[in-house]
Amino acid sequence: MDLSTTETQDMLRDTLAKFLADTYGFEARQKMIDSPEGRDPGIWKALSSELGLTCAPFAEELGGMGGGAIENMIMMEELGKVIAIEPWLQTVVAGGGALSAAGGPLAEATIPQIISGDCLIAFAYAEPQGRYNLADIGTTAKQDGAGFVLNGHKAVVYAAPWATHLLVTARTGGSRRERDGVELFLVDANSPGISRRDYPTVDGFRASEVYLENVAIPGEALLAGGIDLIEQVADQCTMALCAEATGIARTMLAQTVEYTRQRKQFGQPIGKFQSLQHRMADMLVEAEQIASMSLMGTLRLGEDAVVRKTAVSAAKAKVARSLKFVGQSAIQTHGGIGITMELGIGHYFKRSTMIENQFGSADYHLERYEALTMVD
Amino acid sequence: MDLEFSAEDLAFRDEVRTFIAENYPAQLRGKQDEGEELDKEDFLSWHRVLAKKGWVAPAWPVEYGGTGWTSTQRYIWSEESARADCIRLLPFGLTMVGPVIYTFGTPEQKAHFLPRILSGEDWWCQGYSEPGSGSDLASLRTRAVRDGDHYVVNGQKTWTTLAQHADWGFFLVRTDPDAKQQEGISFLLIDMKSPGITVRPIITLGGEHEVNEVFLEDVRVPVANRVFEENKGWTCAKFLLAHERVGIAGVASSKRSIERIKAIAQTEMDGDRSLLANPFFKRKVAELEIDLAALEYTELRTIAGMAAGRGPGPESSVLKIKGSEIQQRLTELTLEMAGHYGAPYFRGFGEGDNEHPIGPAWANRAAPTYYNTRKTTIYGGSNEIQRNVIAKMVLGL
């Protein structure tokens, strides 16, 4: 067993951390969010073509560094520390992960574009009725000659307003919620028949409702693998969120401790009060468990489906609950100022709250864990 | 002892129910249904209806404009108001400064201010917290210096709810900097249009402009606007805080929220079952309902004690702690119901824009409300302070 990181991995972390420290201050981030596009495209350009970080999790023969899930974990932790609104999860983890797993000419053509920063992907897996069930899909993909025609409504697609491509789940056959017949497609975001309703999200991103109306796509757009591939990609995304949660939880704890050193009431720093000390000690306990489960689940992403799903669901169920505790405690300890837009902590809390339920709530993952591990 | 309502109580309930059904402002109802933020006129529209009917301040003594209802009738009133999803009237005049004025004020203060609170003519705000004085309220530093028949006030207040609309504010100010902390404070009523007052918005996590900073620079306040004796303002402050804690439990509105959650969860699908049929979800609703029942009966016992002339004493901290926690859990559950649709940030309809919010209408304020409701364990004396009160005043530690 070896839980240490390599020199290359440490270097990746340092490079990203330094870059984000320079670019992602509180005010800079707010400026990006408030801008018409809702982001600074220069940041993504720097992460990809300038710093070369996007190549980390990809195979060497496609221009990558030969890394994988651990590299994504490291990147997401650092992005979490500054609550970055960059589409790493959507583009590199989901898009890159799906393409790497499916392989073939589309992967060979697209992955270099991801690495160079020219291809931005949004993961259109959710539907209005589907909650967290990845097979609850009403969007149809009808075979039409060599290609397909897509029709349907994809819900709350993060990063869709920025995307060059959409990673879409759609049904080639079977009835709603049937596992068979659900497939994954990489679709040019400008294809005729795609319309969007864009909006900001409460955690600082931009997202869209995506409407597909007779969208004709070529047969090569299909990433073979069906629901098994989709679940694998969703599990990779889930672990990326857990890594982001690690960065966020540790930062919320650090900011809270610092605040209680500065803030004085009753003639002393409030950090001297035992009730607050105990709460912050509990925050540390939970934050460390988030880090542990993030690592555990990430290390299991390459294993067979049952082991992988069990580990990922254990991780997300634990992370969701621990993160809620850390976030709520951070706000409570800050008091009123924690509920305002004026201090960073509230913005971390807004993002951490969304992470709790994305790619499945604690309840969803507990249920999946139970189904995989226990016989009634 | 009897849990059932008498025939008179039931008749009263019907009267209240009918009155609300026939008189609740339709425009206000529409905005609530669409999850839109409410403005000053919205709050005042229901206030004025109740003022006209004479029901706006049920808890006040009859001589000052109260209803003379029994405690059971008051309980029925708040139950029915919540059941019909009426907005909660703003407390600053009706349940905060009003009782302070009729308890401690001069005849002139009573005659001038109380009718204007009842009618809604004056909108009140509360100048208590300061940047350096939150939980440690008695350390407040806003200074009032006597100059003839005026005080000259300098300082800064914060978390002043809806001060942007306020005509008047009740302020705690330091009149004797040399006295022990609690003993040098006075309670002043300040005209918010006075020269030297600046109100700066603080935007909260849901995007709301609900609270403000208030800066006071050489603000001249007539000595006649001081309530109770100079340097005895802390008596008024404590009286007000204890009263604030009782209403803060919010039992009736939490009941209403649970009913709303159940109704939504019955129709919201979770695969091939309703969300309410999801055993995890159902269990959480049940636990909340049971906790709420425990809170409700604790409140009823407090109310009965008050009717018998006791309190509200430090036990009201129990109501504040549990009430605030339940309010938060309700918003947590609503956000959970929203699923993916908790994420879109809907800021209400813009001018001339009637595009429908993203996803189901009930979901579009779920996250902002969850964020905003973190305040309930912080304001009105944080829950940490409430535990200190219980430890010190009830347990004698």
Q: List B residues 321-380 in contact with A (Cβ-Cβ < 8 A).
A: 335-336, 339-346, 358-359, 367-368, 370-372, 374-375, 377-379
Q: List B residues 152-211 in contact with A (Cβ-Cβ < 8 A).
A: 158-159, 202-207, 211
Cα–Cα distance measured from residue B86 to residue A309, given in angstroms and rounded to the nearest whole number: 47
Cβ atoms of B372 and B208 closer than 8 Å: yes
> Taking the domains of chain A in order of start, what are their residue ranges?
7-87+95-118, 123-224, 227-373
Chosen for mutation from A137, A201, A331, A339 (greatest number of chain B CBs closer than 10 Å) is: A339
Residue ranges with strand state E in B122-208: 124-127, 143-147, 150-157, 168-174, 185-191, 197-203
Cβ atoms of A202 and A153 closer than 8 Å: no
Task: Say which amino acid occupies B171.
Answer: F
- Paired tokens of A310: 């069990």
Cα–Cα distance measured from residue A100 to residue B17, given in angstroms and rounded to the nearest whole number: 64
3-state secondary structure of B348: coil
pLDDT number for residue B79:
87
Domain B124-232 has CATH 2.40.110.10: yes
Q: State pLDDT tens for residues B192-217.
A: 999 999 999 999 998 899 999 999 99
Whether residue B374 and residue A331 make contact (CB cut-off 8 A), yes or no, is: yes
Chosen for mutation from A131, A264, A365, A376 (greatest number of chain B CBs closer than 10 Å) is: A131
Site of tokens 């206000």? B28
Whether residue B378 and residue A339 make contact (CB cut-off 8 A), yes or no, is: yes
Q: Spell out the alpha helix ranges (H) of B149-224.
A: none
E strand or H helix at B292:
helix B279-307
Q: How far is B59 from chain A (nearest CA, A)?
A: 29
Cα–Cα distance measured from residue A187 to residue A222, given in angstroms and rounded to the nearest whole number: 9
| β-strands B273-274, B269-270 pairing | antiparallel
Chosen for mutation from B283, B358, B372, B377 (greatest number of chain A CBs closer than 10 Å) is: B358
Cβ atoms of B74 and B56 closer than 8 Å: no
B132 touches chain A (CB under 8 A): yes
3-state secondary structure of A349: helix
Residue A258 DSSP code:
H
Whether residue A349 and residue B344 make contact (CB cut-off 8 A), yes or no, is: no
Task: Say which amino acid occupies A217.
Answer: I
All CATH 2.40.110.10 domain ranges in chain B, comma separated? 124-232
Contacts of A128 in chain B (CB under 8 A): 340-341, 359
Whether residue A341 and residue B272 make contact (CB cut-off 8 A), yes or no, is: no
Whether residue B139 and residue A361 make contact (CB cut-off 8 A), yes or no, is: no
Site of tokens 């005080």? B151
Q: How far is A6 from chain B (nearest CA, A)?
A: 37
CA-nearest residue to B380 within chain A is: A336
Q: What is the architecture, at CATH level 2, of domain A123-224? A: Beta Barrel (2.40)
Q: How far is B324 from chain A (nearest CA, A)?
A: 12
Give the pTM: 0.95
Contacts of B368 in chain A (CB under 8 A): 202
Cβ atoms of A345 and A258 closer than 8 Å: no
Residue B6 makes CB contacts below 8 A (sequence gap 6+) with none
Cα–Cα distance measured from residue B385 to residue B394, given in angstroms and rounded to the nearest whole number: 13
Per-residue pLDDT of chain B (397 residues), as tens digits, is 677 889 999 999 999 999 999 999 999 998 887 777 788 999 999 999 999 999 999 989 999 999 999 888 988 998 899 889 899 899 999 999 999 999 999 999 999 999 999 999 999 999 999 999 999 999 999 999 999 999 999 999 999 999 999 999 999 999 999 999 899 999 999 999 999 999 999 999 988 999 999 999 999 999 999 999 999 999 999 888 777 666 678 898 899 999 999 999 999 999 999 999 999 999 999 999 999 999 999 988 887 787 777 766 777 899 999 999 999 999 999 999 999 999 999 766 555 555 666 889 889 889 999 999 999 999 988 999 999 999 998 999 9
Cβ atoms of B246 and B324 closer than 8 Å: no
Whether residue A335 and residue B358 make contact (CB cut-off 8 A), yes or no, is: no
This complex has an ipTM of 0.96
CA-nearest residue to B363 within chain A is: A128
Class of domain A7-87+95-118: mainly alpha
Query: In this structure, which CATH number among 3.20.20.80, 1.20.140.10, 3.40.50.300, 3.30.110.40 belongs to the domain A227-373?
Result: 1.20.140.10
- Paired tokens of A12: 């990746």
Q: How far is B191 from chain A (nearest CA, A)?
A: 26
Cβ atoms of B237 and B186 closer than 8 Å: no
Provide Rg for chain B, Cα atoms. Answer: 22
Annotation says B80 is catalytic: no
Whether residue A357 and residue B336 make contact (CB cut-off 8 A), yes or no, is: yes
Q: Which of B246, B255, B249, B297 lies closest to B81 in space, CA to CA? A: B255
Task: Say which amino acid occupies B31.
Answer: K
Residue stretches of chain A with pLDDT short of 50: none
Cα–Cα distance measured from residue B341 to residue B336, given in angstroms and rounded to the nearest whole number: 10
pLDDT number for residue B346:
77
Whether residue B335 and residue A353 make contact (CB cut-off 8 A), yes or no, is: yes
B144: left (phi over 0), alpha (psi -120 to 50) or beta: beta
Residues in chain B: 397
CA-nearest residue to B359 within chain A is: A128
All CATH 1.20.140.10 domain ranges in chain B, comma separated? 248-394
Torsion sign across C-alpha atoms A320, A321, A326, A331: positive
B387 touches chain A (CB under 8 A): yes
Whether residue B342 and residue A331 make contact (CB cut-off 8 A), yes or no, is: no
Query: What number does CATH give the domain B248-394?
Result: 1.20.140.10
Contacts of A341 in chain B (CB under 8 A): 203-205, 207
Torsion sign across C-alpha atoms A335, A340, A344, A348: positive
Exposure of A190 by Cβ count < 10 A (0-12 exposed, 13-18 middle, 19+ buried)?
exposed
Whether residue A354 and residue B342 make contact (CB cut-off 8 A), yes or no, is: yes
Q: Pick the catalytic residue: B36, B80, B130, B244? A: B244
Cα–Cα distance measured from residue A248 to residue A153, given in angstroms and rounded to the nearest whole number: 32
CA-nearest residue to B358 within chain A is: A209
- Paired tokens of A198: 């864009």
Whether residue B336 and residue A366 make contact (CB cut-off 8 A), yes or no, is: no
Nearest-by-Cβ selection for A341 from B133, B204, B281: B204
Q: Which of A350, A371, A305 lies closest to A205 in space, CA to CA? A: A350
pLDDT number for residue B123:
96
Exposure of B2 by Cβ count < 10 A (0-12 exposed, 13-18 middle, 19+ buried)?
exposed
- Paired tokens of B368: 């902002």
The neighbour count for residue B102, using CB atoms within 10 Å, is 20
Q: State pLDDT tens for residues A86-128.
A: 999 999 999 999 999 999 999 999 999 999 999 999 999 999 9
Nearest-by-Cβ selection for B378 from A128, A332, A349: A332
For chains A and B, what is the number of CB pairs under 8 angstroms? 128
Provide Rg for chain A, Cα atoms. Answer: 21
Phi, psi of B83 (to 5 degrees): -60, -40
Q: How far is A11 from chain B (nearest CA, A)?
A: 34
Cα–Cα distance measured from residue A240 to residue A257, given in angstroms and rounded to the nearest whole number: 26
Whether residue B129 and residue A200 make contact (CB cut-off 8 A), yes or no, is: no
Cα–Cα distance measured from residue B365 to residue B387, given in angstroms and rounded to the nearest whole number: 31
